[in-house]
Structure 1
Amino acid sequence: MKRVIACIAATLVTTSVAVTPVQAAAADPVKALKSQFVAGKGVKFTDVTTLVEFTGNTSFFKRTGSFQFGRAGIVASDVSAKRTTDAPETSEIIPWALDRPERTIRIGTTSYYSGGPWAPPKGKTWIKHPNGMSAGFSGWYGQLVNVAEPATLKALITKGKRTGRTYSGTISFGALEKISPWLRNVSLVRMSKDSKAAVLRFRLTLGSDRLPQRLVTVYPGSTHVSAAVAEDRQLSVETRYTGWGSRVTVKAPPASKVESVGKREPTVRGGSRG
């Protein structure tokens, strides 16, 4: 009987030692994210942008999209965006160029744009740029924080105060720009000094699998329009992530429908980034 008890005890100790690293890895959100980096797999997301004013909140922009992963992280994305209201209070925030829905496919650093401000020649529906923006012209009006990037996710959970599976805190746009390829490529216009200094508030909630489930960011409207126009307005973006590990395949548009334009881009940017 003593031998049986001793064997059971030894087995429990061995099992405990073997499982602990696995449990620790699973508890680390960054490691959980990196475990998703499998070729052909990815995640889907939806985000809603809201104008926050003293008089109330107005949701005015929505995006749906997906990220395709490779062994090193995001290798492609497909993002569709559309304005959801013509409320006059949003007209100073969102440019006329986005009155039409826009779609952006990005593979590597090559972007394909359709809709929105883009005007391909007759017979074509897409504009190709070899080193294009992360999510087209509309990217600056969607979620600017990409928690599918390990460095970005690490920054939020490091700076945030944890309550259960939720991390809340602040980070500057300048700090994010240094670590986030997504933010650096969200526009071809360099972020201004004032925009870099702007502070963004975030609230990130993880699922039981330790992967991002919901992200809400809030930041000054002056990052998008002049301070005189922004006054005390803020922008809030809520993003929800679904289908981690699902199959995602992002394909380039048919070559016959694509016009390559080299480095030419729309000159309208809006906000203080010019």
Structure 2
Amino acid sequence: MKRFLAGLASACAATLVIATPAAQAAPIDPVKALGKQYVPGHGVRFTETARTTVNGKTMANEKSSGRLAFGKSGVVALDVSTKNRRSTSLSPDRLISVGGHTYVQGGIYGKDLPEGKKWVRYSDAPTGATMNQPVDVFEPKVLRLLLTKAKSSKGGTYTGEISYKDIAKAYGSKLTGPVSKIKVSYALGVNGKGLVTRLRTSWTLDFGVLGKTVGVTETRYTGWGSRVSVKAPAESTWVDANDLGEDSAVPEEIPQSAFDVYAY
């Protein structure tokens, strides 16, 4: 009997061990996962759609694709191609940012250029990683903001709403006035490795009797860690924006995002 009871106790103990679920690993921090991707010579690719409407009428409907190159602390270069469905769009057909300069071509940036020139060079680089996203998920402080402000993280998708005042604060700046109150709704998707795979944002600017502008942008990120190399166009093919003169139809600067076109 004692031997039977001892055997039964052992069997029950083994059953309990098998039935007890294994301790689950702590979820990966997307900000830390992002930091590990910052390896020179590597980067990520993306595709993006952006639609802007004014009083329900489509004013811009763009599709972009490109690649971002990383350095030790973030994005150091990007190469973006955009297809525009409105001739009035301020987005160039092609944008290359590298070495502290940005080179653009096509659309309004290709008007009345000197003979033999195909690109316009600007002396600064865009602050965001793409032309149409109002938030930059490659800035760790902004990514952390999206995570902490999220009202839900179901299924690895963080959804919430932030203001431009919140975004400015993440950069250590203070923003006041009507623009600071504008809300950006977002859905941020991450995979099992904590890496961002999708970002959908939307914002609304209500000008009262002047109408309402709505922007929706969705970006998908693939190929994290792939080798990426971005090079500037040959010097013989570009002209500096400062050398075009006051009468040039080419913009004096590049909008940092689609939001900037309507916000100021």
| TM-score by shorter chain over 0.5 | yes
Q: Is the 8 A contact 2:142 2:167 kept in 1?
A: yes
Aligned to 1:177, the other structure's residue is in SS state helix
Q: 1:145 to 1:108 in 2, by over 3 A?
A: farther
Equivalent position SS for 1:164 = helix
Structure 2 Cα separation of the partners of residues 192 and 227 of structure 1: 20
Distance 2:135 2:128 in 1: 12
The match for 1:251 is 231
> Structure 2 length normalisation: TM-score?
0.74
Partner residue of 2:241? Answer: 261
More displaced, 245-254 or 125-134?
125-134
Contact 1:29 1:211 survives alignment (8 Å): yes
CA 1:175–1:29 in structure 2 vs 1: closer, same or farther (change >3 Å)?
same
Asked if 1:148 corresponds to 2:138, the answer is: yes
Q: Please, which of 149, 159, 171 is the counterpart of residue 149 of structure 2?
A: 159
State yes or no: 1:202 paired with 2:186: yes
Runs of 4+ in structure 1 deviating by more than 3 angstroms, as ranges, are: 51-59, 132-136, 177-181, 226-230, 262-265, 267-270
Superposed, 1:1-150 pairs within 5 Å as: 24=26, 27-51=28-52, 60-84=61-85, 96-98=88-90, 102-118=93-109, 119=111, 120-134=113-127, 139=131, 142-150=132-140
Structure 2 counterpart SS, 1:35: helix
Cα distance, 1:97 vs structure 2: 4.6
CA 1:257–1:56: 2 relative to 1, 3 Å: closer
Measured against aligned partners, the alpha-carbon deviations of 1:19-63 in whole angstroms (never above 9, x if no partner) come to: x9xx65x71111111110000110111111134689698981111
The answer on whether the counterparts of 2:60 and 2:84 sit within 8 Å (CA) in structure 1 is no
1:78–1:105 contact (8 Å) kept in structure 2: yes
| Structure-2 separation of matches of 1:58 and 1:207 | 33
Amino acid at match of 1:173: Y
Say whether the 8 Å CA contact 1:149–1:180 is kept in structure 2: no
Correspondence for 1:230: 211
Q: Which amino acid aligns with 2:88?
A: W
TM-score (norm 1): 0.71
Per-residue deviation, 1:109:
2.9
Aligned in 2, Cα 1:255/1:64: closer, same or farther, shift over 3 Å? Answer: same
Counterpart contact for 2:79–2:97, Cα < 8 Å:
yes
Question: Could you list the per-position Cα deviations for residues 120-163 of structure 1 after superposition, in whole angstroms to 9, with x for gaps in the alignment?
Answer: 31101111112244579x93xx1222212211111100111221
Asked whether the 8 Å contact 2:92–2:104 carries over to 1, the reply is no
Percent identity at matched positions?
A: 34
Q: Which has the larger radius of gyration?
A: 2
Q: 1:97 to 1:52 in 2, by over 3 A?
A: closer
Aligned Cα RMSD in Å?
3.3
Alpha-carbon spacing, 1:262–1:51, altered in 2? closer, same or farther (3 Å): closer
Alpha-carbon distance in 2 for matches of 1:244, 1:263: 38
Residues of 1 paired with 2:58 and 2:103: CA distance? 33
Number of residue-to-residue matches in the alignment:
227
Structure 2 spans left out of the alignment, 5+ residues: 1-23, 245-249, 256-260
Between the aligned partners of 1:272 and 1:227, the Cα distance in structure 2 is 14
- Kept in 2: contact 1:63–1:81 (CA 8 A): yes
CA contact (8 A) 1:79 1:135 kept: no
Offset at residue 111 of structure 1 (A): 0.8
Distance across 1 between alignment mates of 2:114 and 2:128: 21
Q: CA deviation at 1:210?
A: 1.0
* Rounded Cα–Cα distance in structure 2 between residues aligned with 1:105 and 1:213: 23
Shift, 1:248, TM fit: 0.8
**Distance in 2 of aligned mates of 1:263 and 1:210:** 45
Give the Cα–Cα distance (whole angstroms) in 1 for the partners of residues 251 and 58 of structure 2.
Answer: 30
